[in-house]
């Protein structure tokens, strides 16, 4: 990156990324959200939450904290759920707080799994496979959501375009993945390209071909479990949004399950470009706008429901991440690589 154009070096600097992210967050909460509803009205809605739904909210919120770990356990043989959950909470905290945290989270995932003496090849395979499966579910959700919504009411142009974009990207990603897995020539060609790049070493064709073969074996053995838990994790997050909106006083006849799913799918696409850590500000505005466009719910109730949803999915994992980091460094032996795993 240091050899690239000057503007690219400046734009990729952590301080610049942090400043841009902070500006986007400030714009979202100080200007965009108040245009939907006054914060005083939103606070009143939050004070009058449906207490009868709070036990369900706790159950669904707790399930949301564990769900991503189950797909990791399915993708990485030998990984225990307690370790997977700790890694997920630590990396989620980093992703939600640090500019460019997604890339750092991948490195943390690698280091923490290696400190368990898990095989390097298995770790790399699990990171790639779970990332691909997660992306495929995100890209594949908008189209069925739009079709479901269209069976009940007209679909606005923004949601329709999001469904088309998601479908196109889903087909492209699925096709590329199938080509890589079923054709060894793609892995070899990619490996030769990596061999030409500086600082990456040699032998990439053999490495990628071995990863391709191992991935096919993993999918044959655990593909159904990986798919099940990945879809279940996204479905649980959607259910969490539904419960939060219902707790904020939005009844089903005002905003049904189909428009909520359509807005949920649109909001996930909006955060595909990581402008802010964890999509902070961007997801809130995108969700509120999509929910208001897809239904007839009061603006203050929608903003309150979305803020409650983000509290459960964004804020709650933060102390768990810190506690998991402290537990890992003391009980597991620190964030380091132990020799001997191959």
- Distance, CA of 43 to CA of 57 (rounded, Å): 19
Per-chain mean pLDDT for the chain: 84
**Which residues are CB-contacts of 121 (< 8 A; sequence separation ≥ 6)?**
210, 211, 214, 342
- Tens of pLDDT, residues 48-62: 999 999 999 999 999
Query: What was the pLDDT predicted at 342?
Result: 35
If you search the block for the tokens 């929910």, which residue do you land on? Answer: 291
- Confidence category of residue 6, pLDDT binned at 50, 70, 90: low
| pLDDT tens-digit series, residues 120-177 | 889 988 988 998 899 889 888 888 888 898 888 777 777 777 778 777 877 777 777 7
Contact status, residue 124 vs residue 211, Cβ threshold 8 Å: yes
Lowest mean pLDDT among 60-64, 226-230, 291-295: 291-295
pLDDT exceeds cutoff 90 at 186: no
Share of the chain above pLDDT 90, in %: 46
Q: Could you state, in order of their start, the residue ranges of all structural domains in the chain? A: 22-79+136-317
Pure H helices in 98-151: 101-114, 120-140, 142-150
Residue with tokens 């539904």: 242
Q: What pLDDT score was predicted for residue 139?
A: 87
Secondary structure of residue 250 in the 3-state scheme: coil
Q: Which pTM does this prediction carry?
A: 0.87
């Amino acid at each position: 990156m240091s050899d690239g154009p000057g503007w690219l070096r400046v734009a990729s600097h952590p301080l610049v990324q942090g400043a841009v992210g902070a500006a986007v967050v400030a714009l979202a909460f100080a200007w965009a959200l108040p245009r939907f509803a006054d914060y005083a009205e939103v606070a009143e809605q939050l004070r009058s939450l449906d207490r009868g739904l709070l036990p369900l909210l706790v159950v669904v919120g707790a399930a949301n904290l564990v769900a991503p770990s189950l797909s990791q356990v399915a993708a990485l043989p030998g990984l225990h759920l307690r370790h997977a959950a700790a890694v997920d909470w630590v990396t989620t905290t980093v992703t939600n707080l640090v500019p460019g945290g997604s890339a750092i989270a991948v490195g943390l995932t690698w280091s923490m799994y290696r400190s368990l003496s898990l095989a390097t090849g298995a770790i790399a395979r699990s990171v790639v496979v779970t990332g691909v499966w997660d992306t495929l579910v995100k890209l594949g959700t908008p189209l069925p959501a739009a079709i479901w919504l269209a069976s009940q009411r007209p679909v606005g142009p923004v949601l329709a375009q999001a469904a088309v974009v998601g479908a196109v990207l889903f087909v492209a990603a699925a096709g590329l993945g199938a080509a890589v897995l079923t054709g060894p020539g793609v892995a070899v060609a990619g490996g030769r390209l990596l061999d030409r790049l500086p600082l990456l070493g040699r032998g990439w064709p053999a490495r990628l071909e071995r990863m391709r073969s191992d991935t096919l074996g993993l999918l044959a053995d655990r593909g159904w479990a990986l798919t099940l838990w990945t879809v279940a994790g996204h479905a649980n997050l959607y259910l969490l949004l539904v419960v939060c909106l219902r707790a904020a006083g939005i009844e089903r006849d005002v905003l049904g399950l189909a428009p909520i799913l359509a807005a949920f799918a649109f909001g996930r696409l909006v955060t595909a470009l990581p402008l802010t850590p964890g999509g902070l500000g961007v997801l809130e505005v995108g969700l509120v706008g999509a929910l208001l466009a897809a239904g007839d719910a009061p603006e203050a109730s929608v903003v309150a429901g979305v803020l409650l949803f983000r509290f459960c999915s964004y804020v709650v994992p933060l102390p768990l991440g810190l506690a998991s980091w402290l537990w890992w460094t003391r009980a597991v032996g620190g964030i380091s690589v132990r020799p001997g795993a191959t």
